[in-house]
Amino acid sequence: MRIAFILNIFPTLSETFILNQITGLMNRGHDVEIFADIRGDIQKIHPAVLEYRLLQRTHYKVAVPRNLFKRLWKATWFIIVNIHKKPLVILRCLNVLKYGRQAASLRLLYEVLPYVNCKKFDIIQCHFGPNGILGIKLREIGALRGKLVTMFHGYDIRLGLKSEAIYKKLFKQGDCFLAISNYNYSNLMHFGADPQKVIRHPVGIDINSYPFRWQNSCLKPETTIIITVARLVEEKGLKYGIHAIHRLLMRNPKLKLKYNIIGDGELKEQLQRQVNEFALDNSVNFLGALDQEEIKKQLQKAHIFLLPSVAEALPVSLMEAQATGLPIVASHVGSVHESILNGKSGFLVPERDIDAFAEKLQYLIENPKIWPQMGQAGRAHMQANYYINKLNDRLDEIYEKLLDNS
């Protein structure tokens, strides 16, 4: 099959679940091309991006000049160069009667330019709802052809909760919608998606690339290392995690622990100020954005995984932590409860409940002998439900069925 992936950013360290899909489909013999709005940081790059030469398969959105003269001049040149390739597509982009300001401002033309050299695809795989909307528009114009599949994750569901009508056209014209969790599935039903087109299909990880952390028993370490892997954004609730660490240390002044936070984002300075105000400089460490191999090394050094989110879909970081064998303390939000076996592989606590976070962390710190047992439960749960090879086989079958029904 020829498969187009429409993404926001590529490459990016925080979306290994998409990379796992791309490489998995390529391993199965499919021809994949990637279309992204923004080029990610190529200084910090997953080895698979280089191994599979994915940058050579990636097309990026053309920036629209703010200066109107430059915009018109550049658009004129693009039209002259490309009009012979897809004349009807370019003419449709200029249809002011149908597309209004999008056409008049030439923004629609610029949006279509990365696709002018494309041949027909069998599958157009859009990650996140807004990219599904874009895929519908591109297919309507004729810039793309193929069955359109949209996978819903987190922020796109929150967009729908604010305005259900946003996906009305997508639900009507899209061919298939993948819900990564029961939470997403129920919301897609609520938004008005056709149940016949919606399939539960979670994201996954390569379990075998995460060595199990523990031996048969575990002695209490001199310093307990708690770890979080998350973007430093509001929905990850990191301020509550830091506050819980502060409360834990206030109650247990002699407790030796380190809280390592892996990730980057807009709240970095704000969270650092919070650490300073709580005098936690010796306990809380911001390690920044790390590549996958470095994250694996940090997980191997850690003892407990903390995720204090206030909004989630199905966080891959919890899968990676459980594959490693770390016991979990996480907020009971979104579909987190689907990936954690509460009381067996970790503990779920109410969101923003600082005392509850501190209490469960203290319980785990005081009972290291249960860490391997919880770790084994978590890894077995990941193997059974979130192993990427199984999921990619199933995705292959979903695509084949779509094409068979056309």
Among 45, 63, 64, 70, CA closest to 55? 45
DSSP 4: E
Q: What is the pLDDT of residue 292?
A: 87
C-alpha Rg value of the chain to the nearest Å: 23
Average pLDDT of the chain, as a whole number? 94
Please, how many CA atoms are within 13 Å of residue 306, restricted to the half-sphere of its CB?
35
Q: What is the pLDDT of residue 13?
A: 81
In order, the DSSP letters of 69-105 are: HHHHHHHHHHHHHHTTTSHHHHHHHT-HHHHHHHHHT
Give the model confidence (pLDDT) of 232-273 as tens digits.
999 999 999 999 999 999 999 999 999 999 999 999 999 999
Residue with tokens 């012979």: 84
Q: What is the pLDDT of residue 41?
A: 83
For residue 217, pLDDT over 70 is answered with no
Q: What is the pLDDT of residue 216?
A: 59
Contacts of 294 (CB under 8 A, 6+ apart): none
Least confident piece of the model among 54-58, 195-199, 292-296:
292-296
Q: Are 330 and 309 in contact (CB under 8 A)?
A: yes
Give the model confidence (pLDDT) of 268-303 as tens digits.
999 999 999 999 999 999 999 998 899 999 999 999
Q: What is the pLDDT of residue 174?
A: 97
Q: Are 308 and 237 in contact (CB under 8 A)?
A: yes
Average pLDDT of the residues in 352-377:
96
Domains of the chain: 2-204+388-404 (3.40.50.2000), 207-385 (3.40.50.2000)
For residue 318, pLDDT over 80 is answered with yes
Average pLDDT of the residues in 350-359:
97
Where residue 341 falls (left for φ over 0; alpha for ψ -120 to 50; beta otherwise) is beta
- How far apart, in whole angstroms, are the C-alpha atoms of residue 120 and residue 115? 10
pLDDT-based confidence at residue 46 (cuts at 50, 70, 90): confident
Residue with tokens 């709580």: 278
Record the tokens describing residue 329, joined without a space: 């303390």
Q: CB atoms < 10 A from the CB of 121, how many?
A: 21
Q: Are 346 and 378 in contact (CB under 8 A)?
A: yes
Record the tokens describing residue 356, joined without a space: 């509850």
- How far apart, in whole angstroms, are the C-alpha atoms of residue 313 and residue 179? 10
pTM for the complete prediction?
A: 0.88
User: What is the amino acid identity at position 306?
Assistant: L
Give the model confidence (pLDDT) of 146-178 as tens digits.
999 999 998 999 999 999 899 999 999 999 999
- How far apart, in whole angstroms, are the C-alpha atoms of residue 203 and residue 291? 19
Coil, strand or helix: which one is 387? strand
Give the model confidence (pLDDT) of 81-135 as tens digits.
988 888 999 999 999 999 999 999 999 999 999 998 888 999 999 999 999 999 9
Among 64, 379, 91, 365, CA closest to 244? 365
Cα-based distances in Å from 393 to 27, 173, 258, 399: 11, 26, 40, 10
Where residue 256 falls (left for φ over 0; alpha for ψ -120 to 50; beta otherwise) is beta
Average pLDDT of the residues in 175-191:
95
389-393 CB contacts, 8 Å cutoff, 24+ apart: 389/24, 389/206, 390/204, 391/201, 391/202, 391/203, 391/204, 392/20, 392/21, 392/24, 392/25, 392/27, 392/28, 392/204
Cα 343 to its chain centre, rounded Å, is: 26
